[in-house]
Amino acid sequence: METILELRHVNKAFKGFALKDISFSLKRGFIMGFIGPNGAGKSTTIRCLMDLIHPDSGEVWLFGQKYTGDNTVLKQKIGFVYDQDVFFQELTAEKNKQVIAPFYERWDDTLFYRYVKEFQVPLNKKMKTLSKGTKMKFALAVALSHHAELIIMDEPTSGLDPVFRRELLDVLFDVIQDENKAIFFSTHITTDLEKIADYITFLLDGKILFSKEREELSETFRIVKGSRSLITTIKQADPIVYKETSLGFEAFMFTDQTEKLDKKIAFHIERPNLEEIMYYLVKSKKTETAY
Amino acid sequence: MMRSLMIKDVVIQGNRTYLVMLAILIIISAQSYFVDAVFKLSIFSVLVACVFAVNTNFGKQISDEQNALLISLPLKRRTLVTAKYLMISVWFTAVFVAFFGFRILFICFSGGAVIGDVFLYLSAFLIGMSTMYIFLSLYYFSYYRWGIKIAQVAAQVIWPACIALLPWINLNDHQLSGLLVLISVFAAVVVLLLSYYRSVRLFEERDL
């Protein structure tokens, strides 16, 4: 399967923050979730992907071509959703569509109005009067209406109610049935990713902590729980994160470490979900380690 | 693409701006201050056309987020800058024609005679257009150099100041000479080229 998106050793420094050696890739037919705490650099990375920010060094490749000064052909194939009010707020949704549509060679009005109807976006209202969720729905309708092959979304589910979030995931799932497409999206809501993401890329303090298959990731870590009497044993195993609780302790470790432990004593071992992985890794601050 | 960008500028202007400016044009056209004053009308056209150009690019509805939208579309940054500069002539021509149209209508309805020959009107048009290009070339450059906030604040100060100063500036049609037209056009071309190439470069390098 062809690589549709690739960042190679991208660096970008700002005052007080920097993206450091960002490298990951996404193939056609897959969904990649981009996670990390606030300020980790997710939006900055997406801005690099969208050519809004010029990396200090490194390369951005899309559809097998390197980003250069003229990326108009590549951008014809990208649908984007930002977590900001990028549309013209004084215009109605319909007027915004009229402004944007002519720039896309493969704009499909039928598809647009189908999504607008499905998402219940009022086209006759000014953008500034729409709720954040409705603006996001409109942005999504625009992103999906020009037969984009790569959909890039920055926090698309934030501000959406659970019902629409579920509907959105269904839409994305439908989109990805076309194996020629790929979806890259950042989010804080990790449960959404557990439903649909094939790959997870975790960014922390401007560095990639890991970029892995979701299944592989869930096999990488374990949460170990036990009583206070086992604290010394668990500490000797050098867990990534260890904390004492009212009932005993909780330790976040690599799976292979837990397998060694398991033979000696009966610990309670759980498979962490994405939120727990994110939480413990941020807590550990072991940013120098590549997982 | 260029055409779509220029249409975008017309669409985002908003009906209220068009109505207010139309009212101003009609009221001003009827003023005795402008009797037999083609030069004055031309310079006033510049001020009105500047409102359209500035509002569409730096109005309260515009921020860097809209630039993020435009850059994310399949467009070159250079094209975005070029469209801005091209629209200067569109706004000026539209306002100039409307202004003089209303003025001639008022003269006809009041039973007067339309004065001046083709050279007078053409000179007024070229000097007005040149003035607009010089003014906005400097203004657009300042935007690309220092950002939208500076441009928005500057617009709120400069435009009222120009309106206030206009009646004090001695403009009469005898000043409209071929030499003045040549100097204006030459100055406009020089300022425009310098501003345009520098603006393109700044915008191509800018992070949003």
**pLDDT tens digits along A90-101:** 889 999 999 999
pLDDT at position B22 over 90? no
The pLDDT value recorded for residue B126 is: 92
Give CA–CA dist B97/B107, Å, rounded. Answer: 15
Residue B73: its chain A contacts at CB < 8 A?
A: 75, 100, 103-104
Compute the mean pLDDT over every residue in chain B, rounded to the nearest whole number: 84
B71 touches chain A (CB under 8 A): yes
Q: Which of A263, A262, A276 lies closest to A223, judged by CA?
A: A276
Contact check, Cβ <8 Å, B68/A52 = yes
Q: What is the mean pLDDT of chain A?
A: 87
pLDDT digits (tens, 9 = 90+) for A171-224: 888 888 888 899 999 988 888 888 889 999 999 889 998 899 988 888 888 888
Q: Quick one: what percent of chain A has pLDDT higher than 90? A: 43
ipTM score here?
0.85
Q: Is the dihedral of CA A135, A137, A143, A145 positive or negative?
A: negative
The answer to whether residue B86 neighbours chain A at the CB level (below 8 Å) is no
Residue ranges, chain A, pLDDT below 70: 262-266, 285-291
The pLDDT of residue A136: 87
For residue B75, give the chain A residue with the closest CA. A72
Tell me how many residue pairs between chain A and chain B have CB atoms under 8 A apart. Answer: 75
A98·B11 Cβ contact <8 A: yes
Measured between its terminal Cα atoms, the distance across chain A in Å is 25
* Helix (H) / strand (E) containing B44: helix B38-58
Q: For residue B107, what pLDDT band results from cuts at 50, 70 and 90?
A: confident
State the Cα angle at A16 between A14 and A18, rounded to 5°.
Answer: 50
At residue B36, the pLDDT reads 63
Q: Which domain holds residue B29?
A: 2-205
Return the amino acid letter for B109: F
Which of B66, B68, B75 is opposite residue A72, by nearest beta carbon?
Answer: B75
Give CA–CA dist B92/B50, Å, rounded. 8
Q: Which chain A residue lies closest to B9 (C-alpha atoms)?
A: A99
pLDDT of residue A193: 85
Contacts of B72 in chain A (CB under 8 A): 50-52, 75, 78, 80, 82, 86
Q: Which of A174-178, A287-291, B2-6, B32-36 shows the lowest per-residue confidence on average (mean pLDDT)?
A: A287-291
Residue of A nearest to B59 (CA): A90
Query: What pLDDT is recorded for position B30?
Result: 73
Express each pLDDT in B113-169 by its tens digit: 666 677 888 888 999 999 999 989 998 998 888 887 787 787 778 777 777 777 766
CB contact under 8 A, B208 and A52: yes
In this prediction, residues B23-50 reach a mean pLDDT of: 79
Residue B30 three-state SS = coil
Q: Which of A42, A291, A46 is nearest to A188 (CA)?
A: A42
At A32, the amino acid letter reads M
Q: Answer yes or no: is pLDDT of B77 > 70.
A: yes
* pLDDT value of position A287: 41
Q: Are B35 and B108 in contact (CB under 8 A)?
A: no
Beta bridge partners, B58, equal none
What are phi and psi for residue A103, nearest 5 degrees? -80, -15
Amino acid at A39: G
Task: Work out the number of other CB atoms within 10 angstroms of the CB of residue A272.
Answer: 19
The predicted pLDDT at position A13 comes to: 93
**Residues of chain B found within 8 Å of residue A100, distances taken between Cβ atoms:** 69, 73
Total domains present in chain B: 1
Higher pLDDT, B105 or A62: A62
Q: What distance in Å separates residue B201's CA from the closest CA in chain A?
A: 11
Residue A63 in contact with residue A149, Cβ under 8 Å?
A: yes
Q: Take residue B10 and report the two structure tokens written for it.
A: 């017309």
